[in-house]
């Protein structure tokens, strides 16, 4: 049970994150903001599958927001990791906490506590990715200590 969210744009860049059911970061891809979300999500999945295939072996459901809706994306995910894509949609126009999507949003909330990630200070997307991994490492280490 993993989730994607690619809606966090920081000054012309988009952060595509793949998190587990606890909100811990598995993969991040930083790209230009006009890149299609589904393509970036497929790229992030391929990268994670190449780097750490054991993380995706037991995945049955991939929770995504409505930006990833579509049969082609669902087929792409099925062909890569044999998981079903479940799109979490709003049923009303008013604000509501969407089930399972808050996990990814909470991860972005953790990132916003770090000034370096709140603005786009890096010139290269690779440096932004490295900064996100460093912050997530710090968050996880602090939880181990406490």
Domain ranges of the chain: 2-145
Whether residue 123 is predicted with pLDDT greater than 80 in this model: the reply is no
pLDDT in tens, 36-68: 888 888 999 999 999 998 988 888 888 887 788
Adjacent-strand bridge partners of 62: 2, 85
- What pLDDT is attached to residue 102? 72
Closest of 1, 25, 28 to residue 128, by C-alpha:
28
Q: Which of 2-11, 50-59, 125-134 has the lowest mean pLDDT?
A: 2-11
CA distance 4 to 62: 8
% of the chain beyond a pLDDT of 70: 83
Query: What kind of fold does domain 2-145 have according to CATH?
Result: Nucleotidyltransferase; domain 5 (3.30.420)
Query: Do 3 and 64 contact (CB within 8 A), yes or no?
Result: yes
**What per-residue confidence (pLDDT) applies to 1?**
43
Strands 61-64 and 2-10: parallel
Closest CA to 36 of 8, 66, 14, 3: 14
Q: Which of 19, 26, 22, 24 minimizes the C-alpha distance to 3?
A: 19
What value does the mean pLDDT take over residues 119-133? 82
Cα(15)–Cα(108) distance, integer angstroms: 10
> Model-level pTM greater than 0.85?
no
């Amino acid at each position: 049970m993993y989730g994607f969210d690619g809606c966090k744009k920081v000054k012309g860049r988009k952060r595509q994150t793949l998190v587990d059911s606890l909100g811990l970061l598995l993969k991040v891809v930083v790209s230009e903001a006009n890149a299609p979300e589904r393509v970036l999500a497929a790229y992030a999945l391929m990268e994670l599958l190449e780097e750490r295939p054991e993380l995706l072996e037991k995945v049955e459901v991939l929770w995504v927001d409505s930006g990833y809706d579509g049969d082609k994306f669902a087929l792409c995910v099925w062909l890569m990791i044999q998981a079903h894509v479940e799109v979490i949609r709003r049923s009303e126009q008013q604000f509501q906490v969407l089930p399972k999507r808050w996990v990814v949003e909470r991860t972005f909330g953790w990132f916003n506590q770090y000034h370096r990630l709140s603005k786009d200070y890096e010139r290269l997307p690779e440096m932004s990715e490295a900064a996100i991994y460093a912050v997530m490492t710090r968050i996880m280490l602090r939880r181990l200590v406490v």
